[in-house]
Amino acid sequence: MLSKISLDRISVDDQFGRVFLRVPDGKVIDGYFQTLKLLDSFVLGDVFLKHVTGFYINVSNGLNSVRLSYFTSDSSKTLQEINESVKRTSLEKFREERPQKSLVSQEYGGEELRFRKYLFIYTLIGLDSI
């Protein structure tokens, strides 16, 4: 699956959005790889990948939630797909930051395209190892 994903689809012109998800009972997520496991079928699905150009996943809020950050060229379709995909998981969405133009690398050296690709690759490596 991961070999089908191209980094060439990521652009500095893509909008950046985030959605925050948690396990409904407030259970603490046991580290980064458990976070990836919660979302692997969602983010690696053909429909989600059709709407995003890249993404990365972090543990958030004291290990009780997941932050899915993504890049998109079509924010309305991407948001619709995220909402539909979340319904198919055991997670609940509790916060959303709508996609907008943003420099993700601003505090990390300013090489925007390289940094976006790095974040995506880092997450893909983690997903490949679970």
Question: What's the CATH code of the domain at 71?
Answer: 3.30.70
Burial 15-36 (b: 16+ CB within 10 A, else e): bbbbbbbbbeeeeebeeeeebb
Domain that holds residue 32: 2-128
Rg for the chain (alpha carbons), in Å?
A: 14
pLDDT band at 15; cut points 50, 70, 90: very high
Report the domain count for the chain.
Answer: 1
For residue 46, the model assigns a pLDDT of: 86
Average pLDDT over residues 52-58: 94
For residue 38, the model assigns a pLDDT of: 87
Please determine, for residue 1, whether its predicted confidence score (pLDDT) is greater than 60: no
Please determine, for residue 3, whether its predicted confidence score (pLDDT) is greater than 80: no
Element (H, E) at 39: helix 32-43
pTM for the model? 0.91
| Cα 98 to Cα 124: distance, rounded to the nearest angstrom | 23
pLDDT digits (tens, 9 = 90+) for 82-130: 988 888 888 899 999 999 999 999 989 999 999 999 999 999 999 998 8
